[in-house]
Amino acid sequence: MKTKMKMKTKMCGLWSLPEEVAMKCLALPQISRADLAALAIASKEHRSLIVSPDYRLLRFQMRCLEPNIYVWLHILPEPTPQWFILNPVHRRLKPIHLKPDKAPPESSSAFVLRSFGVFVIGGLVNGKPTSDVSFFDCFDHTWHPLPPMKMPRASASANMINRKMYVLGGCGDVADSSNWAEVFDLDTQTWEFLSVTSSTTMKIPLSIQQSVLMRQKNEVYAVGEDGQSFSFSPSDKSISNGVADSKPGYRTEWCWIGGFLFCGSTRGKILWCSPYELNWTEVKGLDELSEYDISQICRKSEKTKNIVAFWNSSSLGSDTLELWSAEISLELRHPHELWGKIEWSGPVFKLDPLSHSYGIKLLYAASIYA
């Protein structure tokens, strides 16, 4: 009579510990994202633990997630943009290969950072506004579709306040006080229109050029297509006039750093101002950038006041188009005098001269913890 031998697998290493303890060990700040990737390749068990929502939440709560610069580029004439991550060691943009259910917008989307990802709201698809909304998870690099907005929107403003996402403008000539704004509740996963009132005689702006969330007052400060600034208060659903821009002209998306607003401009200028004043002043000490137009700036991380700037550049004597980046540290030497020091600069992406690509359009850049 044959007897069946039952083989027992001896547990060792992390798997000899309770799952809760093993998870906390892997969530320690000493464990880098590269280490986690190596573990995921080496062991299916480790991978299943690392990609679990519980592990991600634990690492987020322990503040062990690492800041990475994510960039959304449109390589023309490709039909759709693509996500890249800025490698902190090689200082090059590494493409993230995704297969979304549908093509993402080509441009004019609004973006909202949330924990370890970013919401992409509206935008243009085949030249027409879309109501699509998606969440790009920067931890496992996946797209997650969300319920669409009630109105197709492009060049709108979007900001998150108390687990609600407020989207303003971008719905064209059909906009009125009843549909100009809508709000998405993260808990119920539903959209609702907001009936907006004006505390002044100002006209509702159709498109939003810039916007930023002023956290002290939990209100949105923005600039319409005519250059006039305004504020929106979700608490009373009202908009009111703001101050006029002291130096109207080309501006990149506003960036909130250390209590000040920052933006990029032409001839390598990075501008800053105090909130609600829009009295823009140039960051001094950046003369070597004067040949370029800054296309985007973002904060390097929450722990530093350094900023990262991007711009397009053509190599000398070559038709090759490159995307350059610079990390800039900031120093306030006087209440009205801010100096910048370029800690590093160089090309982070280069178009292949043998390809059919002819342009690089940077749509969005942000530091995201993942």
Would you write out the chain's pLDDT as a tens digit for each of its 370 residues? 444 444 444 444 565 667 667 666 666 666 666 666 666 666 666 666 666 666 666 666 666 667 889 999 999 888 889 999 998 888 999 999 887 667 788 889 999 998 778 999 999 998 999 999 999 988 778 889 999 999 999 999 999 988 899 999 998 888 888 899 999 999 999 999 998 887 666 777 778 888 888 877 788 888 877 777 888 888 888 888 877 776 667 788 888 887 888 999 999 999 998 877 778 899 999 999 999 999 999 988 877 789 999 999 875 555 678 999 999 999 988 878 999 999 999 999 998 777 778 889 999 999 987 7
Q: Is residue 205 one of the residues assigned to a domain?
A: yes
Tokens 């949330």 belong to residue:
114
**Of 284, 237, 287, 291, whose CA–CA distance to 267 is shortest?**
291
**CA-CA distance, 22 to 19, in Å (whole number)?**
5
* Same domain? 191 vs 256: no
Are 168 and 210 in contact by the 8 Å Cβ rule? The answer is: no
Q: Are residues 237 and 257 both part of a single domain? A: no
Report whether the peptide linkage leading into residue 145 is cis, meaning its omega lies within 30 degrees of zero: no
Q: Is 327 left (phi over 0), alpha (psi -120 to 50) or beta?
A: beta
> Within a domain: residue 353?
yes
Q: What is the pLDDT of residue 14?
A: 60
Which among 251, 254, 213, 209 has a CA at the least distance from the CA of 232? 213
Q: Answer whether 0.85 is exceeded by the pTM.
A: no
Does residue 252 sit in the same domain as residue 227?
no
Burial class for 219, CB neighbours closer than 10 Å (0-12, 13-18, 19+): buried
Quote the CA–CA distance of 344 and 362 in Å, as a whole number: 20
The answer to whether residue 81 is domain-embedded is no
Distance, C-alpha 57 to centroid of its chain = 20
Task: Examine the domain organization and report whether 179 and 110 are in the same domain.
Answer: yes
* DSSP one-letter code for 81: -
Residue 254 · residue 210 · CB < 8 Å: yes
Q: Is 170 inside any structural domain?
A: yes
What are the residues whose beta carbons fall under 8 Å from the beta carbon of 255, sequence distance 6 or more? 212, 261, 262, 263, 297, 298, 299, 307
Q: Are residues 173 and 256 in the same domain?
A: no
Specify the pLDDT at position 99: 72
Domain that holds residue 328: 87-93+248-362
- Is 165 in the same domain as 117? yes
In the chain, the amino acid numbered 87 is N
Of 244, 272, 295, the residue that ends a domain is 244
115 and 179, same structural domain?
A: yes
CATH code, domain carrying 234 = 2.120.10.80
Q: Of 200, 226, 244, which one is at a domain's C-terminal end?
A: 244
Residue 184 and residue 159 in one domain: yes
Assess whether 128 and 235 both reside in one domain: yes
In a domain, 161, yes or no: yes
Say if 367 falls within a structural domain: no
Residue 41 phi, psi (nearest 5): -75, -40
* Same-domain status, 273 and 347: yes
In the prediction, which pLDDT does 95 show? 92
Residue 285 lies in a domain: yes
Cα–Cα distance list, 243 to 171, 277, 278 (Å): 24, 7, 7
Task: State how many domains the chain has.
Answer: 3
Strands 93-95 and 110-114 turn out to be: unpaired
Q: Please calculate the CA angle 33-38-40 and round it to the nearest 5 degrees.
A: 95
**Locate tokens 């821009």: which residue?**
245
Q: Which has the closest alpha carbon to 224: 195, 263, 197, 251?
A: 251
Tokens 């949105």 correspond to 220
Model pLDDT, residue 53: 61
Q: Do both 163 and 274 map to the same domain?
A: no
- The answer to whether position 75 is within a domain reads no
| 220-232 b/e (C-beta count within 10 Å ≥ 16 → b) | bbbbbeeebbbbb
Same domain for 320 and 213?
no
